[in-house]
Amino acid sequence: MQVMLLSLCVLVLPFTRPCSTAPTSIPEGTSSPSTEPQVDLKLATEYLQQYYNLEKEPLGRMKRSGPAFTSKVKDMQIFFGLNATGVLDSDTLEVMGSPRCGVPDMEEYSHIQGARWNKNVLTYNIGRYTRDLPRITVDSLVESAFSVWARASSLTFVRSHTRNADIMVEFVTYEHGDLYPFDGPRGTLAHAFGPGQGVGGDTHFDDAENWTAGQTGFNLFVVAAHEFGHALGLKHSRNPDSLMYPTYRSSRRANLLSREDVANINALYSRGRSRPNPFSRYNWGSLSNPWTSVSLFPRLMQQRCDEELTFDAVSTLGDATFFFRERYLWIKHNEQYDIKEGPITNFMPKIETRIDAAFWVPRRSTAYLIHESMFWTVKGSLVKGKPRALSHFGFPAWVQDVDAAVHVVKTGRTLFFMHDIYWSYNENRRVMDFGYPKYISEDFPGVNMTINAAVHKEGFIYFFVGPQVYKYDFSQKLVVGVEKANSWLGC
């Protein structure tokens, strides 16, 4: 069967080839040949040949003057927003020496991207793992990288355990069967094929590199998120804030995607399915956001007794229980039957976003409300100070959001849940417990789905999973009851 390679992304670091490469002489007639070191000329020539279609000279001769070379230097400078002089100045050489992805920059740049999958539910499989990180960490980083795109689009990614998955993720070295061999440490980092049959979508990481979850080595979460953009059909961007910008950067803001990234992924994949709008998870006020319409809150008032009602977060605060959904809030006082409800800003004016997770620490009389990588501290009914980074709790750098959180008074631990793993935080010592994250399914048998919200009441943990609530006996490690989420609002 004929296989079409639609695109191939290669993250690379600049490197100097062995001395046995072809001669690197300067053409006759060039003035002041010593003004630019040979190593800079060699770097620039190889860079322009790989990314800007500079034709190779006969016998390997390199030219730093002449219309072709100068034109390609200007093309590169224009792409990166540099002063387009055609001269190899220090800024230009600095960019050329930066880690980057290997897709040529001379491809036509457009918000309307190229090939796409003809479906919105995609499967992925992790074949061979790296030895640099525990498998559970690789699983979580890969899932988080896919979630970056899922939250910003109509796409859903489902992990498969067969090799028939749409996107195969592999850690390999040197020749590995796709005609694009890796080259060992500090060369090519990874590559991804665009959508299509056969190897389409497959993403490979060079296992000769040092893969990490932090700032040292190469951050797998950041590289994977970039590569999966190519696996979905996206090309490179000239926007330095874009995840699809060619150069590799391990340090990024909490939201990896720029407005442009979101616009591009939605130009490829329509938002045809009914699901919570991912734009509401980002502070992009200039984008169209249907949750800002006045119809939202009456609709949620009417949905209170909907059989399919779900919550984003649930927490006790003092003698009341707070239920969060999108940017809406229900408050039920434990000793009263009436329920107060309305936009979150009606009760907490400083909070203008949805809440993804929340928990209450009784001995401090303090609640913590989490939105993506930030959290607010609430005492009484007052939001104290500005939001702080989720990393305050000791999460690794790649954790940018959590699905649910709950504080267990008896143990003094706060549990944070994300996808299929969880962390345990010691509130007394204010550090993460050793040995985490762990799999939810192993420590909470019977709870093997993504947890939307959790709350601790009267000695039990209640896990909100979709429209259902699992009553969990923490001491016996056993689900002892199941009920509807809407029953918590008196329905």
Binding-site residue positions: 101, 132, 166, 176, 178, 183-184, 191, 200, 202, 204, 206-207, 209, 226, 230, 236, 244, 312, 356, 358, 405
- State the Cα–Cα distance between residues 437 and 416, nearest whole angstrom: 9
DSSP reduced 3-state for 33: helix
DSSP label at 16?
P
- State the Cα–Cα distance between residues 54 and 374, nearest whole angstrom: 46
Q: Which residues participate in the annotated binding site for Zn(2+)?
A: 101, 176, 178, 191, 204, 226, 230, 236, 244
- State the Cα–Cα distance between residues 351 and 387, nearest whole angstrom: 9
- State the Cα–Cα distance between residues 482 and 469, nearest whole angstrom: 6
373-404: b (≥16 Cβ within 10 Å) or e: bbbbbbeeeebeeebeebeebebbbbbbbbbb
Stretch (H or E) spanning 261: helix 259-268
Q: Are 111 and 263 in contact (CB under 8 A)?
A: yes
In terms of residues, how long is the chain?
Answer: 491
Q: What dihedral angle (degrees, nearest 10) is formed by the CA atoms of 66, 71, 77, 81?
A: 150
Q: Are 13 and 186 in contact (CB under 8 A)?
A: yes
46, 143, 170, 227: the catalytic one is: 227
Phi, psi of 210 (to 5 degrees): -95, 100
Residue listed under structure tokens 């296992």 = 207
Stretch (H or E) spanning 439: strand 438-439
Active site residue 458: no
Q: What positions carry a catalytic annotation? A: 227
